[in-house]
Amino acid sequence: MAIAKVMAKLKGLFRSGNMVGIDKSGNRYFVRTEDVDGALKEKRWVEFENDSDPTTLPVEWISWLSGQRKKAPTAQQMLDLEVQRERVKMNAAIMQKEEEKRLFRAKSLQQSMDSGEEAQTLSHEIHKDTDGLRVLEPRGTGDSFRPGTWQPSESSEPRGTGQSFQPGMWQPPK
């Protein structure tokens, strides 16, 4: 019985399969259906072009070879995926350049603040007190700006809870 299995495997190795596709590197992909222990099993394999590195196979073909994908990828699917990958690479490069610009601006601003120069952009401080959140804005702008001098902004939001509730000036949109 064991000899019959070995002979069947050897016969299967010399039997050719159907080519189902070629990738952009020229690697060819094949499939063959064979009887294994009374059940039909599909065998899939790749023949490399020019001793290619197996780690460079496209993900779609690896998925097909491992049986995670039922149908082999078509040439159009492979082309669409390649275009999509290139678009992602371009977008990543653009985002990286924007991030580098942002970091450069932040570093320049920090250096100018450290050297005593006035900052052109001001941030708002938010303090929490017993009446709820109140936004505090800087007093003065540009040349008249003095750090550390804050004045509370008038809020149109209601303040307080329960017995201390005070309605604000806010009105619903009409």
**Segment 60-100, tens digit of pLDDT:** 999 999 999 999 999 899 999 999 999 999 999 999 999 99
Q: Spell out the residues 6+ positions from residue 73 whose beta carbon is closer than 8 angstroms to its own.
A: 21, 58, 60, 61, 64, 81
Q: Average pLDDT in the 114-134 region?
A: 49
For residues 88 and 86, what is the distance between their CA atoms, to the nearest angstrom?
5
Q: Spell out the residues 6+ positions from residue 72 whose beta carbon is closer than 8 angstroms to its own.
A: 20, 21, 29, 31, 61, 64
For residues 72 and 105, what is the distance between their CA atoms, to the nearest angstrom?
49
At residue 7, the pLDDT reads: 64
For residues 130 and 114, what is the distance between their CA atoms, to the nearest angstrom?
35
**What DSSP assignment string belongs to 74-115?**
PHHHHHHHHHHHHHHHHHHHHHHHHHHHHHHHHHHHHHHHHT
At residue 135, the pLDDT reads: 47
At residue 125, the pLDDT reads: 40
Of 66 and 1, the structure prediction assigns the larger pLDDT to 66
At residue 121, the pLDDT reads: 46
At residue 99, the pLDDT reads: 95
Residue 128 confidence class, pLDDT cut points 50, 70, 90: very low
- As a residue count, the chain comes to 174
For 155-171, the pLDDT digits (tens) are 556 666 677 766 666 66
> Average pLDDT over the chain, rounded to whole?
76
Percent of the chain with pLDDT over 90: 33
At residue 173, the pLDDT reads: 78
**Is residue 134 classed exposed, middle or buried when 0-12, 13-18 and 19+ CB atoms within 10 A define those classes?**
middle
